[in-house]
Amino acid sequence: MSRDKMEQQMEQILKKQTEEAMNLKDGTWNKINQELFSSTAELKVKAARKVKRKGRVFAIAGLSTVAIITILFFGMMTDQGQAMIQNLKDMFVEEKQEEIELEGHKEDTNVQLETNEELRYIIYIDEDRYKMVEGDLVDRIETIEPLGERYPEVYMEITRMDDTTTKEVEAVIKDAIEADPEMELHREESVTVPIEAEMIQAMGSGYSSDGGQWDTPIHRYYVTDEDEGQVFVIKQVYFLEAAEGHGARFSYMLESFKVVK
């Protein structure tokens, strides 16, 4: 077979296959088009029926939703409900002035609201002398101005202990004091001032009933009553000479401590 004749036959075969493919494509498209558009009217009717039925359901559901929202709204109007939907800073005065007495002298002190939304507590601190340093586990109130290297530490810490009791926390604190060679358990009692709590006080090991050095450290712990497995511990750290200064100011600030459920 000559080369020209072979090429002619191949051309005829390719042309035939192309026409068959085009016919198949057109047939397929016509079938799809018929199925789609012939059912459009029927679909519209079905859709209208569904909308009508759903309208009745939504009307009933709408009434139920309104009722639920109404119940929730009035439930939130209780004191506890208000506390749940409000930020702590919105519930208390941001700043105020208080009169305190130190060493027999009265003075006006500017205090600022500090809050912890996660732990749900508030406290007012002397904004002219102290600052709040928030931590992952412990919040600390420190002096704004460093005291200098010759002075012992001065601060007040606030911690919440979970899944425990007041007695268990007291035992842990006393064990820690006994394990510290520089501190000795000095006093423990139930108190109502500055807050209602169990108070544990440790003094530097050099302290005696006759007194001690000016820089004798004092560690005072307040352990609140257990509430749903939660206990707050407030630790005050200062030294003997600062007892009527920083120690007294810490007590005044602690009087404003409040847990908001």
For residue range 34-49, what is the model confidence (pLDDT) as tens digits? 544 444 444 444 444 5
Tokens of 173: 């604190």
- Asked whether 224 and 231 are in contact (CB, 8 A), the reply is yes
For residue range 10-21, what is the model confidence (pLDDT) as tens digits? 556 555 555 655
Average pLDDT over residues 43-60: 46
- Break the chain into its structural domains and give their ranges: 3-83, 87-259
β-bridge mates for residue 236, sequence order: 156, 220
CATH 3.40.1000.10 fits 87-259, yes or no: yes
129: closest CA among 119, 116, 143?
A: 143
Higher confidence at residue 247 or residue 101? 247
Q: Chain-wide mean pLDDT for the chain?
A: 80
d(CA 111, CA 256): 10
Q: How high is the pLDDT of residue 102?
A: 87
Confidence category of residue 25, pLDDT binned at 50, 70, 90: low
β-bridge mates for residue 150, sequence order: none
pTM, full prediction = 0.67
pLDDT at 72 over 90: no
The C-alpha angle 179, 182, 188, rounded to 5 degrees, equals 70
For residue range 177-217, what is the model confidence (pLDDT) as tens digits? 999 999 999 999 999 999 999 999 999 987 877 777 999 99
Q: Is 20 helix (H, G, I), strand (E, B) or coil?
A: helix
Q: How high is the pLDDT of residue 105?
A: 86
Average pLDDT over residues 76-90: 60
- Asked whether 222 and 197 are in contact (CB, 8 A), the reply is yes
For residue range 137-190, what is the model confidence (pLDDT) as tens digits? 899 999 999 999 999 999 999 999 999 999 999 999 999 999 999 999 999 999
- Asked whether 122 and 115 are in contact (CB, 8 A), the reply is yes
